Each structure stands twice: as structure tokens, then as C-alpha cells.
Structure 1
Amino acid sequence: MRPDERRLRRLELVVTRRLDGLLHGSYLGLLPGLGSEPAGSREYRPAEDEVRRMDWAVTARTTVPHVRTVDADRELATWVLVDASASMDFGTADLEKRELAVAAVAAVGFLTLGNGNRLGAQMITPEGTRRFPARTGRAPLMGLLRALAETPRVDGTASLADGLAAVRLARTGLVVVVSDFLDGLHEDGLGDRPPEWERPLRRLAARHQVLAVQVGDPREQELPDVGILTLVDPETGLRREVPTASRRLRERYAAAAARQQASIAAAVRRSGAAHLRLRTDRDWIADIVRHVHARRRLSRAAIKRGRTA
């Protein structure tokens, strides 16, 4: 068995064992959300409900604003958009961001497959976009993970905005975007203009459930004190020597990185997508579990409120 194959088998074992409690029980999916099967209506709650879910017929009949309630779908299509740009080939902790992206896709696959659900993917690279048709079952998922893991590393940029705009689903489904979201930021993400990928992400979220999985590395947030450090931009090749012994420089770097991350989080929030942050120095499975449990608690609470309204 090849080393890459052994790594994928270990990844499968780790994911299925750690996520075993989430893979059983009532069907709620990775992002329990609106679904599409009608299940009635309830009164509209400002700041909780989306206007696009308004049930205008019931609202007109009762003169009280109501929203539609729906049951969770079966046989959904989950589409994964994976960023394979050169900025993902970076990691200073347990693994690289690219490897963390593959792990995230594995978790998404094992959490969403079943009940006839299909999983497809689109990978954006500096050389273009590679598309994997949506299929059911373990074998296609393992094939997808193998293709992602074996994708050649190429210098250059890849447009996340273009990749988002190219996602097309015939029916309402789940779209998972796995990226560091560093592409398309204006003035290093510190300006007032929104990122280039915000508008296409918002368009996707208007029709589908969207989960933005942001992968990062601790060195993107703060610099260590290691003397003169040569930094290279993997997408442009720009090199710069940085005197990390300067405390002022490290503080300025950390402050700029924090503003950049806040800008990304704000753009994801404005788009209406759910936001999951994973880091190469953290227990990424535990972060996914916490995220899924939190989303399911919110979903159950909303269903309970709807039944008692």
C-alpha cells in the first residue's frame, strides 16, 4: 500500500471514530437548516428569522407575519469547493493548510454521506478548476480525497471568487467552501472594501446552506522571535527579510493579522454563511464536533419554539 493510501486510510479511521456519535441518531446533517419539504408555518420572530422564509399566504390570512417551517431533506447534494492555491501550501504546526483542507473534506464527506446523499467537489488551482461529479458511497469519497491529496503543488494565484461563481446546483443543497480566504482581500484585508469573494458567496447563501471552513496557521497570526526571518509569498514569489526580534514589529504584525481575520469573519457573516475556523495547531476534529453540536442545538431550539408558538 502506498504511503498516501495509508495516510488516507488512517484519516478515514480517525474521522469515523471521532465523529461516530455524530454519524448516528436522527438525521440532521452537517448543517441542520431549512430543508425544502414543507412542514407548516409559525409566527415570524425579528432578528431570528429570514425574510425570504416568509409565508405570505398565511400572513395575509392571519394579518400576523408568519414564516415557513420545513423538514430536513434526504438525498441532498453536497458540493465542496476546495481552495488549492499556493497559499494553502503552508504550515508550521502539526500539518499544512492543504492537508487540513483534505481532512475537512473527509469530515464533511463522512458526515453528509448516507440517506442517498451525494457529494461532489470543485477544486480551484492556479492552473484552472477541476470538477468531480456528485456521487454516493464511500468509494467515490475516497477517490476524491486521493485526488485532492495528490494534486501537484503549483505556484501562482487562484481566484476564489471565480470558483464560487462557478458553483451550480440544480436543487437546494449544502455548499462547503474550504479555504484560507486570503484571496481577493483589498489592501491585505485591512481596507473598507469587501473581499472579492463576498458577493458570490452571498449569492450562493441566498439559495443554499453554505458553510465556510476557514483553515489557518498560528504563524499567520503572530511572528515568533527568531531573529532575521525570510518570508516568501508563495503566490507571487515576493521575498522579504523580517527582523522578528523587534517587539514593535511583532505587535504591528499581530494587530494587522487580527484586523485581517476580523475582516474575513465580517464578510462571511454578511454573506449569511455559517463560519467554521480550523487551525493546523488545534484539534480540528474537536472544533468540527463543537461546531456541529452548536448548530444542532440552535436547530432543535428553533424547532421547539416553532412547535410551541
Structure 2
Amino acid sequence: MTPAADRARFPGVGPATSDATSGRAEAVLSRLQLLVTRKLDGLLQGDYAGLLPGPGSEAGESREYRPGDDVRRMDWPVTARTTTPHVRRTVADRELETWMAVDLSASLDFGTGQWLKRDLVVAAAAAMVHLTVRGGNRIGAVVGSGGVGGASRTGTGLASARPGVLRLPARPGRKEAQGLLRAIAATEIRPGRSDLGALVDMLNRPPRRRGVAVVISDFLAPPEQWGRPVRKLAVRHDVLAIEVVDPRELELPDVGVLALVDPETGALHEVQTADPRLRQRYADAASAQRAAIAHQLRAAGAAHLRLRTDSDWLLDMVRFVAAQRHARTRGTTR
């Protein structure tokens, strides 16, 4: 578990159980806003300050055609001039609506690096909120908090759509966005695992106009549970999947007999980590699991960002944004 000294360095947010903790959460969210504004705003100047572009009808620049592009957007003059197929991008000419599916299952209440995984979930949500809620853009969220019992007090007066799920409607304005972040930060993680597939499917119902959908989770649920809902979501929306990972989920250290408790079931296991074959099998299984997650997201056409508890999440996000912008402008002829 993360030492208190490390937790004080990053502004992680734990379950809100007292007024003092609530005050700390407010300070944490203010610091997150400052970090995001300083580090990311300069990279995202444009029509929409989101990690992914919003759809629209106004013509934008051209780029080379890639498999999967809509042939109805072919730019025939540029194609004829360059003899290479090009498509015309569009610039959003209306407000953007962003929805987040935030998974706060019990497995997120874990961390051996600088922060807990739930800290990174809150940080990722804060980044998305602060980068999209401007110019009348709207942002909402559905939050899964593990087993039956719903979410903790949030001060919003909103009820869960189902046990263990909190729905926060999409609203414009920074004040409403801050309320949404406070509700996410104050959500109590309960024993059990949220149904990630059902959580993602809530972004499909009711049908919404095209926008951006963000799924924040450790994606430890079986891919067959959430793969189809993500593919369905990507048919209509630009989808960004933010995967939160701890290094101990990728490999085991050699520390002798290690007692482990499954946070979702409470089951206790003792593992002899001095066995090199066991550590290798664990690493191989973890690698295969992460490869399956990446394959499922790639098959759905979702952008994939991985954040680790032992690395600089802001730097990882900056690199991701830069790569996304480069990919979107590659082949531009204007």
C-alpha cells in the first residue's frame, strides 16, 4: 500500500469519510486543475480542447485516406492532384458533449507505486473535465463503485441509476464540472466488481448525438464482458480508453512468502514469490492479459492510454496527446 508520505506528494483522493477529508479533496481537485491547466492546455489549442476531436459539418484540412475512413468524406480534388486518396476532415461547429464511464471497483483501491490506482482514475477524470468544459461544452459521467450499495454521499442530491452506479448528467459550466469531479472523488469504493460492460452500455442509452466517450478503468474484467459494449459505443462516438495499471499487476518481486487479499472477494492467498518459475508464469499471464485488453480496444477502434501508478501520469498524458495530434494531422496538404 502507498505510504502516507507518498500520498501527500500527489494529491490522491481517498473515500470521503469526514469534513477534514472533504476539505482535502477540495484542495486536491484545485491542485489537479492547476497541474492540468499548466501542462496540457498549450497542447490542445483549437476548436475543442479535448483529447479527441469532436465531429462536425464544417470542412477542415485533408489527410491521406486510411482503412476505415468514411468514403463519403473523400476529397476528390486533392486526390486527383496528388494521385493519392485523401479524405476531408471536419471541424466541429457546435458544442461538444463528453461522457465518462468511471470504474471504481475494489481493485482500484490498490497501489504500490507513488499513488493508488483510484488516484489516477480521479486525476484522469479531472484532466478530461478541465480540458473539455469550455465554450459551452457539456460533460457527464456514470460511476461504478463495486458491489451493491451505490455511491457515497456526494452533495449533489443525485440518486444512483442502479445499485452501485451513480449517473451524473451532462451539464455545461465550470461550476457544474467541479461538482461532477467532487462527486467522483467522494465515491466510496465497495467490495465487489462493477459490471464494466453494463457501465459502458449506459453511455449508449439513451442514444446521444455524436461526441466523445471516455472509459476509465483497470479493465481487469474479462474482455468478453466489456468488448462488445465498447465496439457499440465506438460506432457513434470517438472513444478514449484510459487503462490504469500498477507495476505489481505486471510482475511479482522476490520477497518470500507474500499474503495477498483479493479486494473484490476477500479471498486470502499465500504466494511463495521466491520461486522464479512462479514469477515467470505470473509475468507471462499478466503480459497476455494486457495484450488481450489492448487487442480488444484496438478492435473497437478506441484510442488507448495507459497510466501507471509508478510513473508521471501528466507526462504520459502529454505524450499521448502529442501522438494523437500527430496522427490526426499526418498527411495534411494544407
TM class by smaller structure: 0.7 to 0.9
* 1:20 matched residue in structure 2: 41
How far off its partner does 1:93 sit?
Answer: 0.9
The 5 A counterparts of 1:1-309 are 2-23=23-44, 25-33=45-53, 35-39=55-59, 45=65, 48-51=66-69, 53-55=70-72, 67=87, 69-125=89-145, 126-127=147-148, 128-168=164-204, 169-185=207-223, 195-302=224-331, 304-305=332-333, 307=334
- In structure 1, what is the equivalent of residue 8 of structure 2? none
225 and 72 in structure 1: CA distance in 2 versus 1, 3 angstrom threshold: same
Cα deviations by residue, 1:10-61 (Å, 9 ceiling, x for unpaired): 22222222223235x333533344622142897983xx1425x1219999xx
- How many positions carry a matched residue from both structures? 290
Q: Which amino acid aligns with 2:123?
A: A
TM-score where L is the length of structure 2: 0.80
Deviates more, 1:115-124 or 1:134-143: 134-143
SS of the equivalent of 1:291 reads helix
SS in 2 for 1:108: helix
Deviations 1:209-231 (A, max 9, x none): 00000001000001111111111
The alignment partner of 1:110 has SS state of helix
Bigger drift between 202-211 and 150-159 goes to 150-159
% identical equivalent positions: 49
Change over 3 Å in CA distance of 1:57–1:143 after alignment to 2: closer
**Partner SS for 2:142:** strand
Give the CA deviation at 1:81: 0.6
What residue ranges of structure 2 are gaps of 5+ in the alignment?
A: 1-19, 149-163
RMSD over aligned Cα, in angstroms?
2.5
In the alignment, the residues of structure 1 paired with residue 242 and residue 126 of structure 2 have an alpha-carbon distance, to the nearest angstrom, of 13
Distance in 2 (CA, whole Å) between partners of 1:58 and 1:241 is 61
Query: Structure 1 stretches of 5 or more lacking a match?
Result: 186-194
Structure 1 residues 74, 22: closer, same or farther in 2, change over 3 A? farther
CA 1:11–1:177 in structure 2 vs 1: closer, same or farther (change >3 Å)?
same
Task: Answer whether contact 1:86 1:153 (CA < 8 A) is retained.
Answer: yes
Whole-angstrom distance in 2 between the partners of 1:86 and 1:241: 20
Contact 1:31 1:209 in 2 (8 A): no
The aligned amino acid for 1:239 is: L
**Larger deviation: 31-40 or 221-230?**
31-40
Q: Which residue of 2 aligns with 1:190?
A: none
